[in-house]
Amino acid sequence: MTDADRVRRVRGGDRRAIAALIRDLDDDRAGARDVLRALQAPGAADLSQGIPSPGGIVVGITGGPGAGKSSLVDALITHARAHHQRVGVVAVDPSSPRGGGAVLGDRVRMQRHATDEGVFIRSVASRGAPGGLSRSAMDVAAVLLAGSFSRILIETVGVGQSEVEVAAAADVTVVVMTPGLGDDVQTLKAGILEIADVLVLNKADRPGAEAAVRDLQAMLSLRHASASRSALAEAEPGAESASGSASDSRPADVPIVKTVALTGQGVDELVAAIDGVILARTLVPEGQRGRRRAEARIRAVVMARTDAAVRAAFAPGGSGASLADDVAALKLDPETAANVLMTHLRGGY
């Protein structure tokens, strides 16, 4: 089959072609990246290859372990299918193994959608290379978008750098918290509040939900105040004190939605909040739209490639290997060796 055939079949939503391309990308098969590139090429509206999908939305769902992310994804699938949207799900396996064998168990609920033709669920595991996780997750998302799935949901546990990066690479990032924020301290430490476009207080049926919402509001307005202070300070040194009082009275712009994922309560509001983020972005100048995702995607590819190149350099016979010999023999200092290696690598890609 030619690349053009593969592109046409993926664009036509052919599940087998989509699955095969995802598998080939995962295995680093020759030619797979060319197909992905063709699928993503700007202005690639070559009608002989099928019509490119009209811009779907990638939503990252992240939060602490057990916050109810899978249950929310399940509820969002149900919502989307009721509105005749095709949904792709990328479930990111945590890069560090957790106890209890929960990894498969927690997906059981959403798996009931797996026989639905309009739903495509795929797991992605970390390969250990920096950027590798976001690259594979975004690869799958890109193929599904091209395959005319209009909503892509990426579930990732918000603990650890790679996982948080995946969520940040989405068009809209939803951060899931639960009552009793004490349990989520680990998540907050990972800087997860900073990447939230929408905050969800799930398990709102549990005691302490109202208090948790108030805590989140307080945290958001702190974040909001300091963000606008530093933005203003940058633009206009000395304006700091004046902006402080102005921004404190402004509501934080990250919506907080209460949900009970198990019953679907609050899911309509969550979808409205997600759509609201997208709508607000359309008011932003065109060049800025999706910039965060663009940056995260480029960074992921660069990091994955750099990591692979550095590893290869230290294989026997590689340029790094002989530099390592020289440094070990005290013939060369590590800084100089690193400079030499970087110059060498720059020539390589």
| Interface contacts to ligand GTP, rule CB under 6 A | 65-71, 102, 106, 157, 202-203, 205-206, 260-262
Q: Based on CB atoms, which residue is closest to ligand GTP, 270 or 337?
A: 270
Q: Which does 205 bind (CB under 5 to 8 A by kind): Mg ion, ligand GTP, none?
A: ligand GTP
Q: Which does 4 bind (CB under 5 to 8 A by kind): Mg ion, ligand GTP, none?
A: none
Q: Cα dist. 274→11, 19, 218, 255, 292 in Å?
A: 25, 28, 21, 9, 16
Residue 251 forms beta bridges with which residues?
A: none
Quote the Cα angle for 189-195-199, to 5°.
Answer: 90
Q: Which residues form the interface with Mg ion (CB under 5 A)? A: 69-70, 106
- Least distance in angstroms from the C-beta of 155 to ligand GTP: 6
Q: Which does 260 bind (CB under 5 to 8 A by kind): ligand GTP, Mg ion, none?
A: ligand GTP
**C-alpha span between 71 and 121 (Å, rounded):** 14
Q: Which does 68 bind (CB under 5 to 8 A by kind): ligand GTP, Mg ion, none?
A: ligand GTP
Q: Based on CB atoms, which residue is closest to ligand GTP, 88 or 147?
A: 88
**C-alpha span between 102 and 332 (Å, rounded):** 49
- Least distance in angstroms from the C-beta of 177 to ligand GTP: 11
Q: Cα dist. 336→314, 316, 317, 332, 342 in Å?
A: 16, 20, 19, 7, 10
Q: Based on CB atoms, which residue is closest to ligand GTP, 112 or 206?
A: 206
Q: Which does 184 bind (CB under 5 to 8 A by kind): Mg ion, ligand GTP, none?
A: none
- Least distance in angstroms from the C-beta of 245 to Mg ion: 42
**C-alpha span between 23 and 6 (Å, rounded):** 13
- Least distance in angstroms from the C-beta of 63 to ligand GTP: 6
CB contact set of 27 (below 8 Å; sequence gap of 6+): none
258 near 266, Cβ under 8 Å? yes
126 near 95, Cβ under 8 Å? yes
Q: Based on CB atoms, which residue is closest to Mg ion, 17 or 77?
A: 77
- Alpha carbon of residue 196 to chain centroid: 11
- Least distance in angstroms from the C-beta of 14 to ligand GTP: 30
Q: Based on CB atoms, which residue is closest to Mg ion, 38 or 76?
A: 76
Q: Based on CB atoms, which residue is closest to ligand GTP, 11 or 106?
A: 106
